Chains A and B, each alone.
Chain A
Amino acid sequence: MAKITLDKLRHSYMPDPRGASDYALKEINLDWQDGGAYALLGPSGCGKSTLLNIISGLLIPSEGRILFDGTDVTGLPPDRRNIAQVFQFPVIYDTMTVYDNLAFPLRNRGVDEGRVKARVEEIAAILEVTEMLGTRAANLSPDNKQKISMGRGLVRDDVNVIMFDEPLTVIDPHLKWKLRSKLKELHQKVKVTMIYVTHDQTEALTFADQVVVMQDGEVVQIGTPVDLFERPAHTFVGHFIGSPGMNVLPAEVKDGAAYFNGEHVALEGAIAPGSGRHEIGVRPEFVTLSATGLPATVRKVMDLGRHSVVEAMAGTTKINAVVEGAAPGQGEAVHLSFRPDQTRLYRDGWIASDKERAA
């Protein structure tokens, strides 16, 4: 087990990168604490798999260093880093039994058979696959196969980090939930650092203590699921997390106050000095229908059972509101108000209002 440090990491798939756009990973500096559960969240092509492969050693970064507990492992091959990786599609050795599959990483390292047996049985018990040990791995269902490939990482007690590369892609929806809670439980039992790569916000938010959100090869925000939800550091995070995502409204800033469509909008705090393209961000959960406020017309109402999502148009801008109880009808004129302490200003995408300082 180890603390993982990424130090000025950059990677390009081109032999001779010139501009920032040639880099699949722009400079990344990160510290991952020993025993933590982390998620790397981002849309396809944002560089999260590249980052994962760099940590596992399948890819050597163009620039920067990776440290495990302060030791530079940048040049080490995967088998000497003591890491484990679970892939998108379950990788199992078809011709072997489940037992042999789990024993494989140990046998390759010359561990004696008595110790192999003890470890395999221990891990099989944790994964609840003890009764399958004798069967051929080829005959297992996808979720059990994925469990076995996880198990191959767990049998080694010296493993520094276990990485999951979208491990639930091929799992049936009703089993996804089961396997996900199994993973969470597993992490609490074995206390190995785990990094979970996914583009699914539910998976990331339920698994991780800390979520790293990436976009275009850059880390946009690192934080707890609550942080990401409540105070997105970037409009991208606001969009990407939450269902529906955060409302982002074009804004004007005059004399330290924000205006949308000419109406003053109260923010969580003071606006940091500077200039650029301004936007107001507020989550649908914090938009309410009220007697006064921003006038808008209801365009669509989605009844989600426990609550409804009301899509209203304020001028040409779409604003979603989550409404509990009776929702207005389509075409109705309504007034919207935003909860000030959850309303933020973004400048060129990045957060520019300050919660600590009052306006």
Chain B
Amino acid sequence: MRKVNQKGWFFVLPVLILVAFNALVPMMTVVNYSVQETFGNNQFFWHGLGWFQDILRSERFHAALGRQFLFTFLILVIEVPLGVIIALSMPRKGFWVPVCLVTMALPMLIPWNVVGAMWNIFTLPDIGLLGYFMNHVLGIDYNMTRSPFAAWVTIITMDVWHWTSLVVLLCYAGLVSIPDAYYQAAKIDGASNWAVFRYIQLPKMKQVLTIAVLLRFMDSFNVYTEPFVLTGGGPGNSTTLLSIDLVKIALGQFDLGPAAAMSLIYFAITLFVSWLFYTLMTRHDVK
């Protein structure tokens, strides 16, 4: 039997304490709120799983969850293939490599609330560059404060603009790690471009692509700042994603119990989908 060195735990302790204070303990207070009811004066009453039942049955939650899934689905469907295509068309050697990389990285360096504000101004129908162009040059009625469709198009476009680069950079890293011999062998074997992509590039990108999809899923599923600054969840509730709704309940209406229950459900969904996806993607690797 191998001797286990128990001293290792000692070195993990600082991290455990840190995580406990910045994650576990705050989360326990959320759990605490989620099972209690209060009428003010800091008096709390046991409410069991009542809030969870309320949330799970509430149409408002269903609608926000539906919008959240739609948003995440759309941006993944656009950003992942687009990112792969851009990464494939980037040069592998030479002067243009750093130029492309820096250009790609730029959107990601901009703070989230600035991105929201930028796109807000960009799309203003009378003075924004895009808004003015659409309305006054092309003659398309584009006003995201009035039309839910325009609002959706804008938040999706904004997210694609902001985050496709992440997919690009990760895929690019996967692509440049493929030795030249693979391409040469494929040429000699008479492989078509599609076969090269399918049997060489895609398998080599699979791991980074898994990480990219996972990161994009988690980030987009929890997205708050950009759509909040851009549309504030409007017009009406049309772009009220889960996180925006959650903040409305927690800080707008100050319903701590339902907000806590909703947070936990929200967290559980994110965790479950991530776990499911990761398990499915890596199940072949263990063999």
Interchain CB contact (< 8 A) of B188 among A56, A88, A96, A136: A56
Most buried by A among B184, B185, B187: B185
Per DSSP, chain B at the interface is helix
A105 at the interface (CB under 8 A from B): yes
CA A78 to CA B179, docked complex, whole Å? 18
CA A136 to CA B195, docked complex, whole Å? 18
B236 at the interface (CB under 8 A from A): no
- Across-interface contacts of B12 in A (CB, < 8 A): none
Count: A-B pairs, CB below 8 Å: 54
Judge whether B185 and A85 touch: CB under 8 Å.
Answer: yes
Residue interface mask B180-191, A partner, CB < 8 A = 1 = 011011011111
User: Smallest distance from the beta carbon of B158 to chain A beta carbons, Å?
Assistant: 36
- Across-interface contacts of B203 in A (CB, < 8 A): 93-95
- Across-interface contacts of B188 in A (CB, < 8 A): 56, 78-79, 83-85, 105, 153
For the complex, count residues of B whose C-beta is within 8 A of A: 17
Judge whether B192 and A108 touch: CB under 8 Å.
Answer: yes
Residue interface mask A42-68, B partner, CB < 8 A = 1 = 000000000000001010000000000
- Across-interface contacts of B184 in A (CB, < 8 A): 56, 58, 78, 85, 87
Judge whether B182 and A91 touch: CB under 8 Å.
Answer: yes
Residue interface mask B151-189, A partner, CB < 8 A = 1 = 000000000000000000000000000010110110111
**Knowing A95-B203, A96-B199, A108-B195 touch, does A77 contact B187 (C-beta < 8 A)?**
yes
User: Smallest distance from the beta carbon of B254 to chain A beta carbons, Å?
Assistant: 54
Judge whether B189 and A104 touch: CB under 8 Å.
Answer: yes
For the complex, count residues of A whose C-beta is within 8 A of B: 25
Residue interface mask A86-121, B partner, CB < 8 A = 1 = 011101011110000000110011000000000000
Per DSSP, chain A at the interface is mixed
Judge whether A105 and B181 touch: CB under 8 Å.
Answer: no
Residue of A whose beta carbon sits closest to that of B198:
A95
Within 8 A of B (CB), among A156-184: none
B208 at the interface (CB under 8 A from A): no
- Residues on B lying within 8 angstroms of A by beta carbon are 179, 181-182, 184-185, 187-192, 195, 199-200, 203-204, 287
26 contacts between A and B (CB under 8 A): A56-B184, A56-B188, A78-B187, A78-B188, A79-B188, A79-B190, A83-B188, A85-B188, A88-B181, A91-B179, A91-B181, A95-B199, A95-B203, A96-B199, A104-B189, A104-B191, A104-B195, A108-B189, A108-B190, A108-B191, A108-B192, A109-B190, A139-B287, A149-B185, A152-B189, A153-B188
With A58-B184, A105-B190 given, can you name 5 additional A-B contacts, CB distance below 8 Å? A58-B187, A79-B190, A94-B203, A104-B191, A108-B191
